[in-house]
Amino acid sequence: MLLDAQTNLVTDLKIDQFFEPQSKYLYQEYVQKAVQYVFSFLNNEKFYSGELPNDLRSKTNLISANPNSTLSIDDTLKQIKELYLDHTIAFHHPNYVAHLNCPVLLPALVGDLIASSVNTAIETWDQSTSATLIEQEMIRWISSKMQLPSSSDGVFTSGGTQSNFMALLMARDHHAYMHYGLNLKENGWSDVVSKFRFLCSEKAHFSIRKNAALLGMGYDSVLSIATDDNMKMKPDALVQAIEKEKQSGNIPIAIIATAGTTDFGSFDPLSTIAKIAKEYDIWFHVDGAYGGCYVLTDTHQHLLQGIEQADSITIDFHKTMFQPVCSSAFLVKDTKYFKYVSYYADYLNPLEHRDSACPNLIEKSIQTTRRFDALKLWFTLKMTGEKTIGSFLEKVHFLALDLYHTIKDDSCFDIAHKPELSTLVFRYKANGIDNHAIHDTINLYIKNTLFKSGQASVASTKLEGKVYLKFTLLNPKSTIEDLLKIIQMIKETGSSYKTNN
Ligand SMILES: *Cc1c(COP(=O)(O)O)cnc(C)c1O
């Protein structure tokens, strides 16, 4: 009896925490208080406090979820400030130039708050109604920017990795169906699939190989094609590779071109590759996770010419359209390709109840329950507008170029490339040392020292086996002066390594 009474007491108090009409002022209060704490995050001086991993790990009383916890909103917010908001990474900070994380737009945050609160699940019409129409409109909008044919279609995904997974899966199943009459979706593996080969450049994203492995085809089903001095796939090397594979009895089934490689922002020659794919009658996928959104610019549109011939396209709005994670899409030239992933479940979307007026987006997705991620993009297009977004993207590109011109003759640096998008890859060179391994160590030392001290976050990558530093510029409010301050820190840290070691 006593136990029951206690349980009821707790339940009674916490029952107001559900989102519903009676709790609307509590909802408002919670959101307003949360916003105050987000202000404290915005007021952090550095991009990162520099707190050591072990110090963060030792905050066990904050991290642990006590089974009897009934903290107030204020106490909980205080805890999350101390544990997270004071120490997490600020992508909007001018000294954050590491990865493909953009600062986000306020309209997108409003869209995300609404989508999370209303909690639409977008997979079926009866869970989403007009949300489905909004997602479809966002797909139609980006497809028309890409000049895809009217048969085209698409779906929102969790990111470029998932979109690339869908592309590889469709390319494989389509090839098996068209050329061997096989229905892999229904009947599973067939021996001939072991001979299927994907072709992409050696600078393509790792998710191509990873996804090939997840599809049961192994890393070796992906062939890396050499790139030229500008980090673009060489078409003659591509043709040679296709011919060689065919001669050895393998079956090239798809070319994956990259529009904006992750490290160098380089665009493979899409029109030429489209022609090659057509000639060999194989799937043409464009991974535009980074560069796809540059279709909104005047400066880069021409680099995307040929994308309109793609069988499928990956595009990440959470990289280059200033959207919070996740916001991403997978596009196909022909909506019928979605048959390779569709499934009709009795309880959700039975085939016999299919109704074109009430579409069920689950038929296009490899997810079931799925967030309404299109809403933040809709807010962005309404309030910020596609022209402005295009101008932000141009701005970060010119910033990268400006930095390139400013440091290219500096004897402290080896520059890997001239930026085609908004990254710059370069290597710090210590005077009087010409040992590669020592330079690798110094460059990693620079990256780690700047991160640990909370001064700046710079990425590193490898080119021809050597360690390079990388700036990824996605903040249109950053200036060349901001970047030159980081360059100065790099020089100082580099020369301090020399004197200390
Ligand atoms: C980032 C990236 C991906 C992966 O996208 P996620 O959204 O992180 O899953 C794929 N391809 C390229 C070219 C990328 O830059």
Distance CA(199)–CA(132), nearest Å, equals: 35
Q: Which of 317, 234, 308, 244 has its CA nearest to residue 268?
A: 234
Question: Which tens digits make up the pLDDT trace of 339-353?
Answer: 999 999 988 898 988
Residues 6+ apart with CB under 8 A from 51: 86, 87
| Centroid of ligand 1 to alpha carbon of 63 (angstroms) | 30
Please say if the pLDDT value at position 69 is more than 60. Answer: yes
Q: Which residues pair with 424 in a beta bridge?
A: 471
258 lines ligand 1 (CB under 6 A): yes
| Centroid of ligand 1 to alpha carbon of 288 (angstroms) | 8
pLDDT of residue 13: 65
| Centroid of ligand 1 to alpha carbon of 160 (angstroms) | 4
The C-alpha angle 410, 413, 415, rounded to 5 degrees, equals 105
160 lines ligand 1 (CB under 6 A): yes
205 lines ligand 1 (CB under 6 A): yes
First vs last C-alpha separation in the chain:
71
257 lines ligand 1 (CB under 6 A): no
Nearest CA to ligand 1 atom 15: 262
Alpha helix (H) residue ranges in 408-479: 436-452
Mutate to test the pocket of ligand 1, among 161, 227, 303, 422 (most ligand atoms within 8 A of CB): 161
Q: Which of 62-76, 134-148, 233-247 has the lowest mean pLDDT?
A: 62-76
Distance CA(223)–CA(147), nearest Å, equals: 29
Nearest CA to ligand 1 atom 10: 160
316 lines ligand 1 (CB under 6 A): yes
Q: Which atom of ligand 1 is nearest to the CA of 258?
A: 13
Nearest CA to ligand 1 atom 3: 160
| Centroid of ligand 1 to alpha carbon of 203 (angstroms) | 12
Q: DSSP labels for 411-426?
A: TTEEE----SSSEEEE
Please say if the pLDDT value at position 7 is more than 70. Answer: no
Describe the crossing of helices 160-180 and 207-214 by its angle, rounded to 10 degrees.
50
Structure tokens at 274: 């489209």
Mean pLDDT of 182-210: 98
Chain mean pLDDT for the chain:
95
Question: Which tens digits make up the pLDDT trace of 28-54?
Answer: 999 999 999 999 999 999 999 999 999
Distance CA(329)–CA(323), nearest Å, equals: 12
